[in-house]
Amino acid sequence: MPATAPTPQTALVPVARTRVKLLVFIALTGLAWFAGLPGPTVAALALTSLAIPLAVAVAGGGGLLRDLLRAPARPAAGRGLGHTAEQGERFVT
């Protein structure tokens, strides 16, 4: 059975969850640096922030890494509150 790279749908950990963790570690790194925490603490947070994309690339290849670093797609902007055409006609005064 040939091994295939995981996709965002078949990844062991969802890409969205990993993206949130990456952003949290980046924010914590900046906050630690700004607050003047000791260098080893800031370095550990920064290295963890760098290790997350590296681990994703090793586990899932470039495609999964691109999905991690790319902003998530926003849902299409629709009109109104999501009513059906029939419901919309009833609300028209």
Domain containing residue 3: 1-71
As a whole number of angstroms, the distance between CA 47 and CA 54 comes to 10
Residue 77 belongs to some domain of the structure: no
Task: Assess if residue 81 is contained within a domain.
Answer: no
pLDDT in tens, 8-46: 555 577 888 899 999 999 999 999 999 999 999 999 999
pLDDT tops 90 at residue 74? no
Distance CA 24, CA 69 (A): 14
pLDDT at 62: 86
How many structural domains are present in the chain? 1
91 within some domain: no
Is 18 among the domain residues? yes
Residue among 19, 51, 46 nearest 33 (CA):
46
- Domain annotation covers residue 88: no
Express each pLDDT in 48-59 by its tens digit.
999 999 998 898
> Which has the higher per-residue pLDDT, 92 or 21?
21
Average pLDDT value for residue range 58-87: 75
92 is a domain residue? no
Assigned domain for 22 exists: yes
